[in-house]
Amino acid sequence: MLKYTIQRLLFMLLTLFIIIGMCFVLIRLLPPPYVAPEDPHKEVIEARREAMGYNKPIPVQFGIFLKSVLTEWDWGISDKMYVGQDVFGLFVKKMPATVIVNLYSILLSIPIGIILGIFAALKKNTWIDHAISTLTMVVISVPSFVYAFLIQYIFSYKLGWFPFLMKSGTDYFTWDMFVSMLPAVMALSFGVIAGFTRTTRAELTEVLTSEFMLLARTKGLTKTQATVRHAMKNCMVVILPSIFGNFIGIMSGSLIIEKIFSIPGVGQLYINSINAPDYPLFIMITAFYTSIGLLAGIVVDISYGLIDPRIRMGSKK
């Protein structure tokens, strides 16, 4: 298990290294953003570029980049959007908004999703099951900006319950802030709820038809007891890893939702850095997103083994 984990982590680092390398090379092949002669920051930017090796061959530039990242955790400074500011510092400042909104969203949607899934599985092939399954299908298919529009139009505009956009400021735990986050939280939740409903339903229907469930009933457990003690436990083998995966994923946020509700988070920073374009910021957040994606994959895989020791990790298939 440990060996497998270490293997996976090492491979993740390798993958990350290759992806960042490719991204870096492709970015540095482009001409750096133009600095106007009258720009007050011109000298700083040019000195900085000189230090980053803009006039040297690209492999050397990559060496300089890696060295500064690994030794000083210096990801460069923003050269377009927030001129002269440390990229990593900017990123850290944007982090809380994303994490909080996404955290609320999954805290809200995981229980609802699982309960709906259980409900559908227990009432399999009744109208409740069909309704829930069809709805899940529909919700998963519809793009998130459609929910955002419906929520903004109905709740914010017609009913006036919530503000259109997230409140600016850093008082993340006040009531006003919470209310202003709710539309974004709701818009994010639809997809997650549907995802969990679908997984839970699929897993639970499979478990409910297995023979040990029959045995549990024969030995005298009621249906509820059998479901809670035997079926749910087995079904958690699949659900828990995906919960872990979701918790890792809260940091990356949703580009579209953050743009619509103007959440001052990582996703919006990323979109802005693409449109600006602000390359150091872009490379930094790319590295972040890539590592989050890879990490979530590893956590999901390893947690399978942790939850259910029968699933042997690292063995040849």
Partner 1 sequence: MDKNYFEHIPKEKFEFQQLDANIHDKKLETKSRGYFADAMIRFKKNKSSVVAAWILMFLVVFSIVSPLISPHHIKEMNSTYVNHPPFIKAIADKKWGIFDGAYVHESQSENQKLTWEAIGKETGLNPIIEVVDTTIQKEKYRGRWRDVTYYKLENNKYYERGVVYRTLAYEEFKNLVKFQDETGIQVLYPYVEPKDINDIKDNANIWYQVKDAKGTPKLDADGNFIPAYSTNQEMADLIPYDSLRIESDPGNYIYYFEKSGAVHVRVCYFNYYQYEQWKVDGEAQEPMYIFGTNSLGQCLFTAIGVGARFSLIFAVLVSAINLTLGAIYGAIQGYYGGMIDMVLDRISDILSGVPFVVVTTLFQLHLAQKVGIVPSFLFAFVLTGWIGMASLTRKQFYRFKSQEFVLAARTLGASDWRLMFKHIFPNALGTIITSCALVIPGVISSEVSMTYLGIINLQEAFGTSIGTLASQGQTAMTSAPHAMLFPSIFISLLLISFNLFGNGLRDAFNPATRGVDD
Q: Which is nearer to partner 1, 30 or 40 (CB)?
A: 30
**Could you tell me the two tokens for 263?**
């959440």
**Residue 170 DSSP one-character state:** S
Q: Residue 55, interface with partner 1 (CB under 8 A)?
A: no
**Residue 261 DSSP one-character state:** T
Residues with Cβ within 8 Å of 262's Cβ and at least 6 positions away in sequence, in order, are: 165, 166, 268
Q: Residue 245, interface with partner 1 (CB under 8 A)?
A: no
**Exactly one of 162, 190, 270, 304 binds partner 1 (CB under 8 A); which one?**
270
Give the span between the Cα atoms of 151 and 158, in whole angstroms: 10
Q: Of 72-80, 178-186, 228-236, 266-274, which part binds partner 1 (CB under 8 A)? A: 266-274
Going 176 to 177 to 178 to 182, the CA torsion angle's sign is positive
Residue 141: other Cβ atoms inside 10 A: 9
Closest distance between partner 1 and the C-beta of residue 125, in Å?
9
Give the span between the Cα atoms of 245 and 147, in whole angstroms: 23
Closest distance between partner 1 and the C-beta of residue 15, in Å?
5
Q: Residue 27, interface with partner 1 (CB under 8 A)?
A: yes
Within 13 A of 12's CA, how many CA atoms are on the CB side?
Answer: 19
**Exactly one of 145, 215, 233, 314 binds partner 1 (CB under 8 A); which one?**
145
Helix locations, 172-226, DSSP H: 175-208, 211-218, 223-226
**Exactly one of 109, 242, 246, 290 binds partner 1 (CB under 8 A); which one?**
290
On whether the CB atoms of residues 151 and 105 are closer than 8 A, the answer is no
Q: Of 58-66, 181-189, 209-217, 284-292, which part binds partner 1 (CB under 8 A)? A: 284-292
Q: Residue 141, interface with partner 1 (CB under 8 A)?
A: yes
**Exactly one of 177, 243, 274, 276 binds partner 1 (CB under 8 A); which one?**
274
Q: Residue 256, interface with partner 1 (CB under 8 A)?
A: yes
Could you tell me how many residues of this chain bind partner 1 (CB under 8 A)?
47
For residue 149, give the nearest of 187, 189, 178 by alpha carbon. Answer: 187
Contacting positions for partner 1 (CB under 8 A):
11, 14-16, 18-19, 22-23, 26-27, 29-30, 133-134, 137-138, 140-143, 145-146, 148-149, 152-153, 157, 198, 201-202, 205-206, 255-256, 259-260, 270-271, 274-275, 277, 282, 286, 289-290, 293-294
